[in-house]
Amino acid sequence: MTTTTPGDTVRWEDLLPREFEQRLAQLPLVYLPMGLCEPHGHVAAFGLDTHKAVYLCEESARRFGGIVAPTQTYQIHETGYHRPWLKEVMGDVNPRMGSLPPDVVLRLLVYQLRAFVNAGFRAVVVLTGHNANQPDLRLAVEEFRRARDIPITAVSDPELVMGQFEGDHAGRYEVSQLMYVRPELVDLGRLDDRNTTPLGRFAQGDDAHLATASEGRAIIEASLDAIKAIVDEGRPLPEADAAFMSFEEAEEVWQRVAARSDEWCTLRE
């Protein structure tokens, strides 16, 4: 028996029309959580980046309003600078990851933004738990805004807390976050697997042993403060001009993004 009601959710895919319309009327803002499956050491689940993005988006919608779009659980990896990094942290071990090339993710993002505008949203927060790709996400956003000038912010979680906490990969910062948002997906008892199993380091951070749920809570709360500032600053106007966008027009936006591929950071070593 569940005691939740249709009014308790902030997820687009879980909302019924009445509650969707109510939330949209209160604040026509949508959050897009982005993450992927990639190695996060022996102590943490592959989907760490996804789980923190989902948590931040859902908690933001609960506290500040708005609706959370279906999670984008694949991200850019293995291209450009990602390739030597993967070699460094994994050696020749299979990383068991779900990478996509940049053109697929950026084209998808353009069409996701189109879907948001057409569904009635007038502001967008794209939050990626996978850090470092966001300049390319912002390039796609910049081109989209030339077609529909509504507030759209693309940001990674370490950018939200810059100056307060130092982001990392599967170290103290990230493992602390996961210990707070999904404690059942962390097992610090496996820290030493990097030395005792053929999987080796498996991209584990050297300071993962310093992770704590209380530090994770501090990071997450600081992140939520920063998201609140983004929501307040880009507070959408319900009457904002954002006409229906056809597939053809979205394709024109994508073509402009594609024409700037020499600027994509994810293709650079």
Query: Which helix (DSSP H) or strand (DSSP E) does residue 196 occupy?
Result: helix 193-196
Stretch that binds Zn ion, among 6-14, 49-57, 180-188, 247-255 (CB under 5 A): 49-57
Q: How far, CA to CA in Å, does 227 sit from each of 63, 130, 169, 257?
A: 10, 17, 21, 26
Interacting residues with Zn ion between 29 and 48 (CB under 5 A) = 48
Residue closer to Zn ion, measured from CB, 97 or 108: 97
Residue carrying the six token digits 């496996």: 190
Q: Which of 9, 10, 49, 136 binds Zn ion (CB under 5 A)?
A: 49
Sign of CA dihedral 14, 133, 41, 99: positive
Tell the smallest beta-carbon distance from residue 49 to Zn ion (Å): 4
Residue closer to Zn ion, measured from CB, 16 or 162: 162
Neighbour count for residue 43 (Cβ, 10 Å): 26
Tell the smallest beta-carbon distance from residue 33 to Zn ion (Å): 13
Tell the smallest beta-carbon distance from residue 3 to Zn ion (Å): 34
Residue closer to Zn ion, measured from CB, 59 or 157: 157
Distance CA 234, CA 237 (A): 9
Token code pair at residue 232: 């307040």
CB 195 within 8 A of CB 209: no
Tell the smallest beta-carbon distance from residue 124 to Zn ion (Å): 22
Residue closer to Zn ion, measured from CB, 49 or 59: 49
Q: How far, CA to CA in Å, does 49 sit from each of 28, 41, 131, 170, 246?
A: 26, 13, 9, 10, 32
What's the count of helices (H) and strands (E) in the chain, helices before strands? 10, 6
Number of residues that bind Zn ion (CB under 5 A): 2
String of contacts with Zn ion for each residue 97-126, x by CB under 5 A: ------------------------------
Residue closer to Zn ion, measured from CB, 116 or 173: 173
Residue closer to Zn ion, measured from CB, 7 or 183: 183
Residue nearest to Zn ion (CB): 49
**Contact call for residue 157 and Zn ion (CB under 5 A):** no
Q: How far, CA to CA in Å, does 207 sit from each of 29, 43, 127?
A: 37, 12, 25
Tell the smallest beta-carbon distance from residue 153 to Zn ion (Å): 20
The contact set with Zn ion (CB under 5 A) reads: 48-49
